[in-house]
Amino acid sequence: MKNNGVRSDVLVSVVSPIQDAADWIETYLAAISALLASEYKDFEIVLVDNGSTDATVEVIERSQQSLRNIQLYSLARSIPHESAFVGGLE
């Protein structure tokens, strides 16, 4: 059901396994959040940090202060990409 062009009848989840993304993750989060907010009332962005060795986690934590619905799961070590994605789905 759309209200002012925004769907309110579904929850949309975007799951993104990431690793060493400090250089681009803030731009990605701003863009995907704006896109989702323009289409959906209820959404979440689930990030699975796959053992980053840069400042990825810190950048995401700063972004969480201004962008809604971002969940971060940080893995202590790198695992296969597919396993990180499945972990985000759970």
Number of domains present in the structure of the chain = 1
pLDDT attached to residue 81: 58
Range of the structural domain that residue 84 is part of: 2-89
Residue 14: CB atoms within 10 Å: 16
pLDDT attached to residue 4: 73
Output the domain CATH number for residue 61. 3.90.550.10
Q: What is the pTM of this model?
A: 0.83
pLDDT attached to residue 3: 67
pLDDT attached to residue 89: 58
pLDDT of residue 85 exceeding 60, the answer is no
Q: DSSP per residue over the chain, as a string?
A: -EETTEEEEEEEEEEEEESS-TTTHHHHHHHHHHHHHHHEEEEEEEEEEES-SSSHHHHHHHHHTTSSSEEEEEESS---HHHHHHHHH-
In tens, the pLDDT along 2-61 reads 667 789 899 999 999 999 999 999 999 999 999 999 999 999 999 999 899 999 999 999
